[in-house]
Structure 1
């Protein structure tokens, strides 16, 4: 090779080497040694703390189930205010909003043919009541696609049952979105066919006889006009076997679920005011409402405990982080992210000061992955945070992953940067939205790992000088 070419390629290699070292040095220096030590000490403190579990225990025991818009949810908001003051937050408030209230009421459902057998079912959110006891033959549909093909009027005087497959357990909860279609929009097709009522297989992975509730989706701004009931997976399995045997199926059903007008709900806001940039906000949180079948420990008492405890532990540091840390206990999440949209609307003129947002709302098992949606320079910060979190068993995931959690969606759409500390959700769909969502399902040590991850990462983000806003603000 001629000397001139060797010199050229040597210069290029030297330049790449320089840039690589410079980038490495930038990523290392972007978090100071003092911040690293504080974060590491904070992580250890959180791992040895029971505060997160104590918060979930208090919420689920003292308040119990917290159906959105109910008297119990209102009591939980006052509970949140009291807790925030006891933990020493600088500002504590409730931001109220109004919402329509749907009440489950009493449900009776039993199979009457080919023989008598009680079924374990629950009304789905937004379902209508039955004006009288419905006693009708059942038409079996293997899945939502089969029901979608039914002709108008073909189910008059009958009850539709949509089967499907029980969700497979997975770390990420894969399959929930697809399975959820029958719960959210099955009634659109059943009503078009003039069905008396609709039954669906519960959307969940549990093999217990626990039905799985959840909200349906409006059809052209109208809610269901018929009763809609989810039955437990074992009962759905039983229906499938009888259908395969060619047995005629019939059900007796009476439901009292209905809408009860406008009521008050709200978001609880807990602020730790930043020491240097108090106007800049790092937002974390969970939703304080729950479905009413269990006590909402996993969904989402755990998220309230994790994020509130993380911020409370940060507040005990000798010096506050530069930016304000805000914990939001979102109201009325289960019925359509109503608290999330209310927050985004109320703070729309100040979302540019929301440096980053994230939510804990996927149970109480350990966090295994950190993903983000921030700009390239801020990605270096998140990369370093992931390294600091690695002793907790957390790996770095994608750096262009939108989201942050369900209640963060309205803010993320307006360009607020996000991270997500992904939890192991293998048991989540056994429990969430079922009577089995109770405190005994939470392992205090696993919950403490969550608190440690949140406390460490949120402290470092709140004490950073870096702007996190993604280059593409539309997420």
Structure 2
């Protein structure tokens, strides 16, 4: 992309003040001022809450491949059009179709107890009449990895590590690994089934957290489920007696073929460079127990509302704003990967991107993976977001979010806007993922951050370094 030639005097002044060099990407003063206005307007704008209320009420749970999958796509197309997007379209994504029908469990001996649990994505069902087996317990995934297969064969493996609350939600790394990798490891060691303490931070709710396993071959899967935290405590108390503990699992679920869904995309066409894109979004699917308000209806609402504010400006942005409602993030980033594969050759045209997928808590930190020449522009964005309580950490890379991370892996420059996840994993993947968990003011703060940075990127004089393989050094590898 060409940049206007600076006069020698102008370049000297920029260098002298330390603001930018002649080669740096810069966001014009007028664009900064407009972004500040967008930021402030968003704080009093109710569009995101209206959109989120609509999605969770009119569609509700949106398990990928279910009847609600098509309803959600129809809803998204209609909502994009109602909000005034210039172009609305879909792109297909095909993935395994997993269904949940029935689930139950109980401790059979030594002390019979009902168990509150939920089957995990891609888990096969138990045999007709259920699976009854002795439990072998591990306190961590590492302990399971080190176990002798002879101690596991034919038993139900239980892993009981517990997540703790943190603002950045980093303990989910522990919980998700137990849920994704744990069943695969147990299966390879000959286990008959798998249980884990739910990957969640609620301590007292008798509600289990679902989520996907790492099974990629249905024939190698074993029945796998998550226990609510109180039920995991109960199981551990019985194990503490030193007597054999037997559990019965009855899961009616499994992969029943393939399904072709779609990413739903809405665009606000750029005035000067319509082929250059600033990308934002979230994932349209959700797990089935709740209504998918925080995961990830909020991300859909934030990105739609931010783009709507930009759409309503007196003049269109210089570059296209593209909002992507991704398909089936929950069971393997299928929509994200299909999108990245389709658009990989266009990665240089994706100026900057990130999606929202950590609920609706306040954005408190921003990071970026951009070319060195774009750091000044990122600092300009950070200055506009600072009044929202967003700190800029120049040492952390930006990943682009759960879905647009796939485009970052192809070479798209990316931000990360970290949300306060202190309580996110209390409700994540549970029946408690409902609209009442969303604070409208915090949701609006997210919209303010997204509207401001998205507009500034679209108006930038210069690029952010997107190119094939550009950010492999920060871990963004295909």
**TM superposition score normalised by structure 1:** 0.92
RMSD between superposed Cα atoms in Å: 2.0
Residue 38 of structure 2: which of 42, 47, 61 is its match? 42
List gaps (5 residues or longer) in structure 1: 1-16
List gaps (5 residues or longer) in structure 2: 1-11
Deviation at 1:29, TM superposition (A): 10
Deviation at 1:275, TM superposition (A): 0.6
Residue 159 of structure 1 pairs with residue 156 of structure 2: yes
Change (3 A) 1:399 1:279: farther
CA distance in 2 between counterparts of 1:29 and 1:334 reads 36
CA distance in 2 between counterparts of 1:337 and 1:25 reads 38
CA distance in 2 between counterparts of 1:335 and 1:216 reads 8
233-242 vs 286-295, which deviates more? 233-242
User: Counterpart of 2:51?
Assistant: 55
CA distance in 2 between counterparts of 1:91 and 1:311 reads 13
User: Counterpart of 2:4?
Assistant: none
Contact 1:114-1:248 at 8 Å conserved across structures: yes
Residue 270 of structure 1 pairs with residue 266 of structure 2: yes
User: Counterpart of 1:336?
Assistant: 332
Residue 24 of structure 1 pairs with residue 19 of structure 2: yes
User: Counterpart of 2:9?
Assistant: none
Change (3 A) 1:466 1:158: same
CA distance in 1 between counterparts of 2:99 and 2:343 reads 30
User: Counterpart of 2:141?
Assistant: 144
Q: Deviations over 1:98-143 (max 9, x none)?
A: 2210112200111122222211101111111111222222222222
Structure having the higher Rg: 1
Partner SS state of residue 282, structure 2: strand
Change (3 A) 1:116 1:233: same
Change (3 A) 1:29 1:162: closer
CA distance in 2 between counterparts of 1:270 and 1:18 reads 41
Deviation at 1:224, TM superposition (A): 4.2
Contact 1:365-1:425 at 8 Å conserved across structures: yes
Partner SS state of residue 448, structure 1: helix
141-150 vs 194-203, which deviates more? 141-150
Equivalent positions of 1:169-188 (< 5 A) are 169-188=165-184
Deviation at 1:36, TM superposition (A): 2.5
User: Counterpart of 1:405?
Assistant: 401
Q: Deviations over 1:146-195 (max 9, x none)?
A: 3223333544443222211x211111111211332221122233223433
Residue 113 of structure 1 pairs with residue 109 of structure 2: yes
User: Counterpart of 1:210?
Assistant: 207
Contact 1:128-1:224 at 8 Å conserved across structures: no
**TM superposition score normalised by structure 2:** 0.91
Contact 1:373-1:399 at 8 Å conserved across structures: no
Q: Deviations over 1:281-302 (max 9, x none)?
A: 0000000001111111001000
Equivalent positions of 1:235-254 (< 5 A) are 235-254=231-250
Contact 1:187-1:224 at 8 Å conserved across structures: no
Q: Deviations over 1:175-223 (max 9, x none)?
A: 211332221122233223433211111111111111111111136x556
Residue 381 of structure 1: which of 377, 382, 395 is its match? 377
Deviation at 1:442, TM superposition (A): 0.2
Deviation at 1:74, TM superposition (A): 1.5
Residue 75 of structure 2: which of 76, 79, 87 is its match? 79
CA distance in 2 between counterparts of 1:298 and 1:172 reads 15
Contact 1:127-1:224 at 8 Å conserved across structures: no
User: Counterpart of 2:5?
Assistant: none
CA distance in 2 between counterparts of 1:184 and 1:134 reads 21
Q: Deviations over 1:250-275 (max 9, x none)?
A: 21211111111111211001000001
User: Counterpart of 1:351?
Assistant: 347
Residue 442 of structure 1 pairs with residue 474 of structure 2: no
